[in-house]
Amino acid sequence: MLNAVKKEVERIVSSDVSWDKLRDKTVLVTGATGFIGSYIVRSLLEKSERSNLNIKVVALVLNYNEGKTLFQKYLDNGTITFLVGDICNPLSTDQTADYIIHCASNAAPNEYALYPVQTMKINFYGTLNMLEYAKKVSATGFLYISTIEVYGRLTGDTKTDENTYGVIDSMRSRSCYPLSKKACETLCVSFAEQYGVAVKIGRLSYIFGPGMRCDDSKIVSVFPQCVAQNKNIVMKSKGEQKRTYTYISDAITGLLTVLLDGENKHAYNIGSCSCKTSVVGIANTLVSLYPQKKLKVVFDLPSEQEQKAFSLIDNAIMDTSKIEALGWSPKIDLITGLKNVVEERIEILEKEKGK
């Protein structure tokens, strides 16, 4: 585990999440080797070890070796169990769980553009299968991790609360992600109504922080990578879209707060008002943080394939008063977060040079 990731896990573990509600519980995490899922797994098990909570994690993974590489420490001490399988297939296991945190999804814009059918299948079938499992084991809680993109295209600069929705164009393949995520939210509520499954939904804004894949196609990964490699940041649009971004440790504490303290059949926005800016604002901020590198923000026309990956949302500013009423608040501002990502990328590059 990189030092930057360890630091964020430490921040999560030291937070005032209602950890004791997880004492002696088993938590099943899907997408456990992904950016969000891996943080959740590490945080649960580190907190359990330090506070003697006896939390067990069942990690649903597609590749056992990848899971073993990430979580060897916990495999050795017996606090994690792997279920290996495709989320699109029904879960066939006698393993029970008290809580389910469903993270599995395609999570990069280039994947939505290249694999729209697979994106929809993973989201819908995966969620259906996990809800069926939750019903079968009578889970205490089911957390569905959704996205700010379910709000669609909204006009103006007003903040979006949990009851405000715009337009999503169903005739564009890029809508595969927001429309399937939105359908999954309805599926969650339907299971709650029809079968009594205790579901809660966390709608994440644009998440960033140490631990993102270096080849992640999101701008919060691409732009810091450019800075770490001493390359100019190339914009493929004017970048005027306004966004609420959220640092990874704040996102994880927000999700756990929703799971443990949120109301059933409710959705909660998870975003940071201190990380509100435009796409070009991210680029300019990064360049200004490292003046010694003498980097520039340059503009270039996108290819047709690149355009297919673009979000259809103009402005996406979250109203987070609902989750803040549960006692959650973000801790990391935009500048601190971006610097942490760049420094992590520099650490990775230096390790690669030393091999």
Radius of gyration of the chain (CA): 20
Percent of the chain with pLDDT over 90: 82
pLDDT per residue as tens digits for the range 79-102: 999 999 999 999 989 999 999 999
* pLDDT recorded at residue 273: 86
Q: Residue 104 and residue 122: Cα distance in Å, rounded? A: 8
Interhelix angle 334-354/3-13, nearest 10 degrees? 140
Domains of the chain: 3-212+245-273+317-332 (3.40.50.720)
Q: What is the largest CA-CA distance in the chain?
A: 60
Percent of the chain with pLDDT over 70: 95
Strand order in the sheet with 206-208: 206-208, 242-247, 276-278
Mean pLDDT over residues 230-239, rounded?
91
Q: Which amino acid is at 301?
A: L
Give the alpha-carbon dihedral of 82, 71, 188, 327, to 10 degrees. 150
Mean pLDDT over residues 46-56, rounded?
97
Least confident of 120-129, 161-170, 307-316: 307-316
pLDDT per residue as tens digits for the range 9-45: 999 999 999 999 999 999 999 999 999 999 999 999 9
* pLDDT recorded at residue 262: 98
Three-state secondary structure call for residue 155: coil
Q: Residue 187 and residue 183: Cα distance in Å, rounded? A: 6
| pTM score above 0.85 | yes
pLDDT band at 3 (very low <50, low <70, confident <90, very high): confident
Name the token pair of 145: 């991790």
* pLDDT recorded at residue 215: 87
